[in-house]
A and B are shown apart, each in its own frame.
Chain A
């Protein structure tokens, strides 16, 4: 199953973080347009799914 925990963009929130919750991670994706590159980070849960899934190496 292509869940967030297996995605290349998923980075687990450290246990000592203010917003830590079990299974919570940051989904960090790189985007680019005519003005340049930017990176988006959105809170997700490890069992979530989305259209941008890319399997971890």
Chain B
């Protein structure tokens, strides 16, 4: 590999020799295939045989994946049989029936056990959420079998699913505008897509037997209260519902314990009847012991903690209902158990290296997980099996450094095993120890695309701000506000025994801004994709005589879409409260347990956000129109209208002018002023006028996930010079591909002009020079960049450090590049798993070199 070009800096010539000199002999296009270093033979073997369930363009990347039947069958069977019982009890009985009757399974070499389907190649389906999704699977090669049984199940849920219950609250026109998925994401009741932050802490610290005892005590107390003299209806009537909720908790927690103990029995049966290797036999017996105690009892060591966490994950994200995400502050959650096992050696004693292996095993378990998502969600997260993002670092409640040896074990495991999931968020704070920051750098430098970095102080302050809107007056305390992770890719949310986010209808839901802007230019009509009126009539383009006319038309379209999205979210929540209760989640939340309330209903800490995606295409379009039409008057609105409807064909000179108009990300005052106005006045400004179920003001999250390509294909040509169908920008605040030409610190300066307080989060993708980052100066430069980023009050940044040569080689010979990982937006993926179009957007990101001016700005001492 060639080293980075020398530069002159502060009167010296700075060379960039590789930090590891042997790398100069490695061909550039093969670098990442040589990096994986699993810490044991076992983790290497599992990685070599992983059953990936990654998806792209709506399909599973590997053969043999299928929708499972068992979850649908047993859920539906018990739901039908429990007719007449309170709905929350029906939910508990239905999920318990799955756990009691499902197949449990285990693979070779596994240590962490637990699956969500009856076969390691299957994914579970959720007809009670959206029977449309099951129908989609049935029309594909992934159809659950026997198909006749699946059809019967669909027929039943076509009248009873969340989807069936939600549609009646809209006009046909409104439904079409949402289901077509162009300016806005379809409502949660239609997709069944969900997000949750499970209170892992209570399972780990209490165990489920203790949770059952608590529910029983509450029921006893409530029954005594009902029988006490002087009936007062207003005080006592609510107790009937509460008793049902507590009863549902007991039903489900008992079923979870019994389910885990079936795994325990399987381990024992395998040890005694199937396994010949004495070492593995001994391990299977240890696993039998762990799975008998866990999650029934409190965890005592790190192995216990890992198993409890996985069962809790499966219940909250895959079995009780589907939910995306892997939200947890893992190094804080597991620190007491790491300490017990690795430092104090009081239970399950192990070395730090053995702990690293356990975290490698966790990564492998997550990599194999499959989600029965609808086709569209298999399209918009290309290369992923689902969104898995955990958080580490930051600060503790007493403001001390949150990094510890457990943080380092988590990062080391990621470096060793090289799997794209789970992705990691590192909460950056000046107090963060250098040793850990060095590991963060190594992950990034080695091309993993994670950790993504979030501003620790901003995230904590945001939780404190939102707590003021708590409906119960019991939002997070300033101390608790330090306990947060990203709920999905980007948005901070509280983690802990209570007050965490339980439903996506609290936060998320999406408006696609570039498409919204496109219809603004066409009086609300979508001419390029759906051929329908997608928004209100806000005036023909030729009638928008001033820039302020254009601005106002766009504002109205934006408002229409965010209002519709948030109505859909709260309608979905209204239905979830009545028909999609979560007895397990409720049982492990201290608030739900204390108050006898379902997790859908109880809101203590508001965490409202709506994704606002495609802002930079819009900003650059507004900039080009202001410059070339309204200010310089070089072109007319009529000409632009014609050029856009011709996809710029026949308007080549004009296209060149619009393409060359100022672009965001170059520290250009003209462009950045419009960006600032858009993000503060429309994006945050309009959003904060909306208040959702939790009582909090809505905040925007800018992130693309993988929708930049999918939604780009549904968006016609735009005045920034995009052709119809080309990708949107790939982040909330990332400059458009290849348009940030003034270096990495110019990007920071542009981004810093926007007040980040109004944004819940705003994704910044950057691609850094691989030779510079792998040089002996790489860490120093990156550290200075990060410190500057922090001081500029920017809330997020993430990096690709992969060469164009290697990505192009992987396009030619994908079979040789299974370990090449890239950052999409909010998550990472194996490059070979994503579609060519998406690959090309990654390649076309500007590869930022740090020049002398950048180094000067960062104050790097080389």
**Which A residues are within 8 Å of any B CB, using their own CB?**
11, 13-14, 17-19, 26, 28, 30, 33, 35-43
Contacts and interface: CB of A to CB of B under 8 A. Distances in A.
A40 B103 CA distance: 6
A33 B66 CA distance: 15
6 closest A-B pairs (Cβ-Cβ)? Answer: A18-B258, A38-B107, A41-B266, A42-B103, A19-B258, A35-B49
A11 B269 contact: yes
A14 to B, nearest CB: 8
B100 interface: yes
A19 B100 contact: yes
Nearest to B296: A18
Contacts of B101: 43
A36 B339 CA distance: 35
Contacts of B49: 35-36
A27 to B, nearest CB: 9
Interface string B237-279: 0000000000000000010011001100110011001100000
B105 A36 contact: no
Q: Is chain A's binding surface mostly helix, strand, loop or mixed? A: strand
A39 B100 CA distance: 18
A24 to B, nearest CB: 11
B705 to A, nearest CB: 28
B104 interface: yes
A41 B269 contact: yes
B58 to A, nearest CB: 23
B108 A36 contact: yes
Interface size class on chain B is: 20 to 34
Interface in B96-129: 100-101, 103-108, 118-121
A39 B280 CA distance: 15
Given A17-B261, A26-B269, A41 B108 contact: no
A17 B269 CA distance: 14
A19 B259 CA distance: 9
B211 interface: no
Given A18-B254, A26-B269, A30-B274, A40 B105 contact: yes
13 contacts: A17-B265, A26-B269, A28-B266, A30-B274, A36-B49, A37-B107, A37-B108, A40-B105, A41-B103, A41-B104, A41-B262, A41-B266, A43-B100
Nearest to A43: B101
Contact of B120 (A28, A38, A42): A38
Residue among A17, A28, A35 having the largest count of chain B Cβ atoms under 10 Å: A35
B51 interface: yes
Contacts of A43: 100-101, 262
Contacts of B118: 40, 42
Contacts of A33: 64, 121
A4 to B, nearest CB: 15
A19 B575 CA distance: 33
Contact of A38 (B64, B100, B108): B108
A19 B118 CA distance: 19
Given A11-B265, A33-B64, 6 more contacts: A17-B265, A19-B261, A28-B273, A41-B103, A41-B269, A43-B101
A39 B781 CA distance: 51
Nearest to A38: B107
A38 B104 CA distance: 11
A28 B64 CA distance: 22
Nearest to B272: A11
Contacts of A19: 100, 258, 261-262
Given A18-B258, A36-B49, A26 B108 contact: no
Contacts of B265: 11, 13-14, 17, 26, 41
A42 to B, nearest CB: 5
Contacts of B105: 38-41
Given A28-B266, A28-B269, A39 B261 contact: no
A39 B274 contact: yes
Contacts of B262: 19, 26, 41, 43
Contacts of B273: 11, 28
A37 to B, nearest CB: 5
B281 to A, nearest CB: 14
Contacts of A38: 105-108, 120
A13 B663 CA distance: 68
A30 B120 CA distance: 13
Contact of A18 (B104, B261, B266, B269): B261
A42 B119 CA distance: 11
A11 B264 CA distance: 13
A28 B106 CA distance: 11
Contacts of A42: 103-104, 118
A26 to B, nearest CB: 6
Nearest to B118: A40
B109 to A, nearest CB: 8
B73 to A, nearest CB: 13
Nearest to B258: A18
Contacts of A39: 105-107, 266, 270, 274
A14 B108 CA distance: 25
B266 A35 contact: no
A35 B262 CA distance: 24
A44 to B, nearest CB: 10
Nearest to A27: B103
A26 B106 CA distance: 14
Contacts of B269: 11, 26, 28, 41
